[in-house]
Homo-oligomer: A and B are copies of this chain.
Amino acid sequence: MQVVVWNENRHEKTNPVVADIYPEGIHGAIANFLKEDEIEVTTATLDEAEHGLTEEVLKQTDVLVWWGHQAHDEVEDRIVERVHQRVLEGMGLVVLHSAHFSKIFKKLMGTTCDLKWREADDKERLWVVDPSHPITEGLGEYIELEKEEMYGEHFDIPAPDQLIFLSWFEGGEVFRSGATYQRGKGKIFYFRPGHETYPTYYNKEIQTVIKNGVKWVSPASTPTPTYGNVKALEQITEK
């Protein structure tokens, strides 16, 4: 399996707090723990040529992990189209935190993907609501994060195909924090936590979820549909 972790990588360059927490960038931190599972992992960032997502790279990518926040608009539409097509062809996509507002996620969802938010050190508790789902493997009944950015409902997404986590926030809100979707041959997993000013991606349980998510969205050799004008498989009576 070939995984690419994509990161905007801008906060890391301008905000010393973020740079301190993630000296190798958020992409670096995520790539590091994914490698523990003997998965082939590379990274790609916004400021690389073609944002690091050339045709060549994407063709060989089984799963793309996406983190973005302040520069969604700088992602070129042609690259978004390219990623979109690869998802429909079967490439898995893990969408993290503020990437709810990424062009690729909005395009796949068909909605605004808007939500409520607050940066106030809310405690967050993510409850497992589907304990049959492989993405919850190795977890307890909930994950607790001492401090995180709050995301609150209404989250303007289509009803998830599968709802896996629900978040409780100290300030009084709830959020559908873990959700899966199927689009074309591709599988998508949205997972909420991971604001840049908190060390969330070092949390072992969060890492477990992301590892499980990568595994769950990874493609299999499923049938490739054909489209367009087709001959009848059975005799049609003249009328």
Please give the residue numbers on chain A whose beta carbons come within 8 Å of chain B beta carbons, in ascending order. 88, 90, 107-112, 114-118, 120-123, 125, 127-134, 136-141, 146-147, 150, 152-156, 158-159, 161-163, 166-174, 176, 181-187, 220-234, 236-239
Contact = CB atoms under 8 A, between A and B. Distances in A.
Contacts of A136: 222-223
A152 B227 CA distance: 9
A177 to B, nearest CB: 10
B120 A232 contact: yes
23 contacts: A88-B156, A110-B110, A112-B184, A116-B229, A117-B230, A122-B232, A122-B236, A128-B223, A131-B184, A131-B222, A136-B222, A141-B223, A141-B226, A156-B227, A158-B181, A158-B182, A158-B183, A168-B169, A168-B172, A168-B173, A168-B174, A170-B237, A171-B236
A184 B132 CA distance: 7
A174 B171 contact: no
A89 B230 CA distance: 39
A69 to B, nearest CB: 14
A11 B198 CA distance: 49
A30 to B, nearest CB: 22
A154 B141 contact: yes
Given A137-B221, A156-B184, 9 more contacts: A88-B112, A112-B184, A116-B227, A116-B229, A127-B174, A131-B184, A133-B182, A154-B225, A166-B174
A118 B172 contact: no
Contacts of A138: 221
